[in-house]
Structure formats: structure tokens, C-alpha cells
Amino acid sequence: MLRASPPPPARWRAKEPSWWGPTNWRDAWRDSHAETAEKTRLYSGVRKWTSVLLGEPKTSIWWHDGTLPKAQARENGKTERLACPNRPKATQQGMDHPRCIMRWPAACTAYAFGIGDRASGGWENAWGLPIDAVEHGCRVHAYDPTVKLRSRHVNRAQKVWPHGNVSFHYAGLGNGVHVNSSKNSYGKIDVTTLATFAELVRTNPASERVPGVLQIGELASNMHALVPVPCLLPPSLGVPSQIAKGANGAPLSR
């Protein structure tokens, strides 16, 4: 579970000097220490997890088999690290993502949030996980709350998977508290369709509620659903302004 954030020392700054007494000083001192400790944790955490993204040798412990894959050179001079022996060489970047899955779960149910609409690679690029999951015998639930993509996705799912292996749901991940944004990379989203992960899963048949494979695309717009920002957190710790306000634009109360 996420740890609770410390109370914001900013609440002390609003007090008049004449208000301060020994107890208040002590409490403010404690709160300031807590805030500094939290910032220290966050900044050391950024270095730690950034080193994982960079593939530094000491980060091998965070890999599944305890081994850091070799960096692979790409044609444009950049590198990537893949523990992906099944990767097809002839596919475009982005299309082979699910194909790196070495072992698909038995009795598999796959959930794909944020289907989207890729500019390159055709519809197969956006629907990469459902395509591969069905090939491996999975039942798939696909979600996207983007208004302008709704009919396209509904038609696609019905046309390509007429036997119902893939169900498209016009819905998106929310955190059940407040709305992060009414847009994603593809345009306006229908915020009335947002629900928590558990709520969305609960609407499906009981036998399909264990997400053996889960894809969360568009993590930017889904981040608030994964790690909800506590409303108590002060802006100095990085709460985006659109999150610090309620759905109607009013500041969230403490």
C-alpha cells in the first residue's frame, strides 16, 4: 500500500507570528522534518528507478531472472534491452510487444486498457495485445473511453472477432475519486465511463475476472488510476494542478 504523505508544513505558514508557542514550534518542526524526509525518499527513488530504465549493472536484481539483458544496438544508434527471445525481426517497432510474452497463462483472460489508434502500423498495431492473446487462446476484454474512437473500436471487435473472443468496452480506468483529465492523446474521453479497475473487472463474468495478462497503454492518462495522488499532498511535492482540483474545478477539501 502507498504510505501516507506527511501534513503540509504550508499550513503553519499561514499563522501570525503572535500565534506561535512552544507546542506549535515543536509540531511545525516535526512536520518540516517529515516533509524533508519524504522529499529525500522521492528524489532517491527517482535515481533508483531511473537507473533501472538505464540498465545500470546494479539493477539486475529487478529483472525476472536476475540477469540484465545485453543492450541491443538499433539502426538509429540507440539501444534497447530485451529479454525477449521470441521477438520477430521483421515486425515494426511497437507491433511485437505482446509477442515477447514467453509463457501465456493457462485459462488466460487478458485485459487491455487504452487501445488507442496508432498512426503507424495500421489497426493491428493498436490491437496488438488482443490479436496475440486470442492466438494464444485467451479471452480478451479491451477498453477505451475515447469518444471519437468508440464506433471504430466496436465495429473492429465485431468484425475481426465475430465469435466473441474479444469484447470491446467503451470505458476507461479511473480512480473513483476525481478525474485526471478529460482528454488523452487521441482526443476527448467520456469521463462518465471511467471506473476503477476492480469495478470494471466486476462487470465481467466470474470466470473472466482474473487478468492473467494486463496491458495499460496511455499510462500518462491512466497514471492517476494506478497511483492515486493523495488529496493532502502539497503542490510542492508535484501534484499536477488538474489533479489538485475536483472534477468541477473546485479545490479538493482536506
Partner 1 sequence: MSNDPEAVQLLSNTAVLLLDVHLSPSMMPPTLWQFVNLFDFLFETLGMRLGWIRSVDGYPGDQSVADFLGVAGLPAGFCCYELALLSGRKQLAEVTS
CB of 21 to partner 1, least distance (A): 32
Residue from 95, 171, 195, 225 that binds partner 1 (CB under 8 A)?
Answer: 225
**Contact yes or no for 150/158 (Cβ under 8 A):** no
Q: Which is nearer to partner 1, 134 or 239 (CB)?
A: 239
**Contact yes or no for 222/214 (Cβ under 8 A):** no
CA distances (Å), 25 to each of 17, 20, 35, 50, 209, in order?
11, 7, 15, 37, 52
Chain positions 37 to 76 lying near partner 1, rule: CB under 8 A, are 41-43, 45-55, 62-64, 69, 76
| Cell numbers given for 78 | 540507440
Residue from 150, 152, 209, 245 that binds partner 1 (CB under 8 A)?
Answer: 209
89 lines the binding site for partner 1 (CB under 8 A): no
Separation of alpha carbons 16 and 18, rounded Å: 5
140, β-bridge pairs: 110, 166
Angle among Cα 162, 163, 164 to the nearest 5 degrees reads 90
CB of 233 to partner 1, least distance (A): 7
Residue from 131, 142, 157, 239 that binds partner 1 (CB under 8 A)?
Answer: 239
80 lines the binding site for partner 1 (CB under 8 A): yes
CB of 150 to partner 1, least distance (A): 21
Chain positions 151 to 180 lying near partner 1, rule: CB under 8 A, are 176
98 lines the binding site for partner 1 (CB under 8 A): yes
Separation of alpha carbons 92 and 95, rounded Å: 6
* Count of residues of this chain found to bind partner 1 when the rule CB under 8 A is applied: 72
Separation of alpha carbons 10 and 239, rounded Å: 15
121 lines the binding site for partner 1 (CB under 8 A): no
84 lines the binding site for partner 1 (CB under 8 A): yes
Chain positions 135 to 154 lying near partner 1, rule: CB under 8 A, are none
